[in-house]
Amino acid sequence: MSEKKDFQLDTRVIHAGYHPDPIARSVSPPIYQTSTFAFESAEHGAALFTGQEQGFIYTRLGNPTIKALEEAVASLEKGYAALATSSGMAAVSTVYMTFLEKDAHMIGTAALYGASRTIVETELVRFGISSDFIDTSNLEEIKKRIKKNTKLLYIESPANPTMVMADIAACAELAHKHGLLLVVDNTFASPILQNPLELGADVVLHSVTKFINGHTDVVGGIIISKTQDLHLRLKKVLHLLGGTMDPHQAWLVLRGLRTLKLRVEKAQENAQKLAQWLSTHPKVAWVNYPGLPSHPQYELMKKQMRGPGSMISFGLKGGYEAGIKLINSVKLCTLAVSLGGIETLIQHPASMTHSSVPKKTREESGITDDLIRLSVGCEAYEDLRDDLQQGLEKC
């Protein structure tokens, strides 16, 4: 759908989705802050509704500023088209509502973002939808759970917050062999580091709240489809459910997106150094970071990603108590949930982002009470290291 598909990633991230505005030729795209669009005539309005003519009708159904963001992300993910949503969870729930019907079954990664799992287990279950959340790094395990009514394989790779990966190409092959759709939440990698559609996935989604916007000032989501058919199915449900993005929100996300590659590269450089430093620190028991050769899926990361990213999880030798002491002691790193922004954030998933998941389920999926999650930002590496060092000295 995007006009600039042939340029390199560095160029597409800056230009994709933008057409100079026809009135003032503004270099920054205009914010079409309108809920509705005037028809030229009764006939024109009717033709827009039947689809005989293309154009904008009403912002829940489409808007030029939102379209610019959708075209840009569709280009980065190499998809047919994208749909921007009011939050990442609006993207997740639209995907579930589109591809799961009454009595359907889905298989998902055990260590998903808490709400993406909780909505299935506590809400969709009311519509007869059943699920198995399992270790999706294990293909045999996935194979065992496929049933006649399984419709969807839903993975996060790397997963929040365990950093466990799934082999996306192998998952796609298995899913398609059994008639399932493969949906990948690509939030942790961002389109800069991983393109699941190229690896065989059918649909990709992001919480754009994170890396794509990158400035910790907007909540939003986006869904990218490989084919027109999938896009139209998702579009119909999104427009009926109403979880569409707002034009001002889209403009902010598009502004953030333009520096995505620069931010991802700088944060990744910091994360690689911090992960190496943490892994040799006397107070640190373990580090999960796909850029360390000690990560069990280091080879898979090199195969399917262009880099390990900037999310790290780790545990201290002093366990839960020491971890809490650390997050209460840091001064430069901010104690907050969310991730993927220019500033470094630290949090405790068991009591924060994943507290909606019961303790037993959490622990089975690797989200132990001692796990601390670090979203590494774009500050100077030495300042981040010194801040963590002074915090670790208190643990």
The DSSP symbol for 244 reads: B
Closest CA relative to residue 61, chosen from 40, 42, 83, 32: 83
Choosing from 156, 167, 202, 387, the residue that interacts with ligand LCS (CB under 6 A) is: 156
**Binding positions for ligand LCS, 96-155, rule CB under 6 A:** 113, 116
| Residues within window 239-298 making contact with ligand LCS, judged by CB under 6 A | none
Active site residue 210: yes
Contacts of 185 (CB under 8 A, 6+ apart): 92, 112, 113, 116, 154, 155, 156, 157, 204, 205, 206, 207
Our CB check for ligand LCS shows the closer of 187 and 249 to be 187
Query: What does the alpha-carbon distance between residue 392 and residue 323 come to, in Å, rounded to a whole number?
Result: 9
Choose the catalytic residue: 18, 80, 96, 113. 113
**3-class DSSP state of 288:** strand
Q: Does 233 qualify as catalytic in the annotation?
A: no
Stated as kind and residue range, the H or E segment containing 58 is none
Start-to-end CA span in the chain (Å): 53
In this chain, which of 150, 195, 209, 288 binds ligand LCS, going by CB under 6 A?
209
Nearest to ligand LCS of 74, 90 (CB atom) = 90
Give the nearer residue to ligand LCS in terms of CB position, either 219 or 300. Answer: 219
Q: Which parts of 82-226 fold into alpha helices (H)? A: 88-99, 114-118, 139-145, 168-177, 190-193
Q: Which of 338, 355, 356, 361 binds ligand LCS (CB under 6 A)?
A: 338
Amino acid letter, residue 284: V
Site for ligand LCS in 178-207 (CB under 6 A): 185, 187, 207
Q: Looking at beta carbons only, is 88 or 256 nearer to ligand LCS? A: 88
Please give the residue whose beta carbon sits closest to ligand LCS in the complex. 88
Axis crossing angle, helix 260-279 with helix 381-393, rounded to the nearest 10: 40
**Catalytic-residue membership of 25:** no
Q: Which of 170, 241, 337, 342 binds ligand LCS (CB under 6 A)?
A: 337
Which residues are near ligand LCS by CB under 6 A?
Answer: 87-89, 92, 113, 116, 156, 160, 185, 187, 207, 209, 219, 221, 337-339, 353
Residues catalogued as catalytic = 60, 113, 185, 210
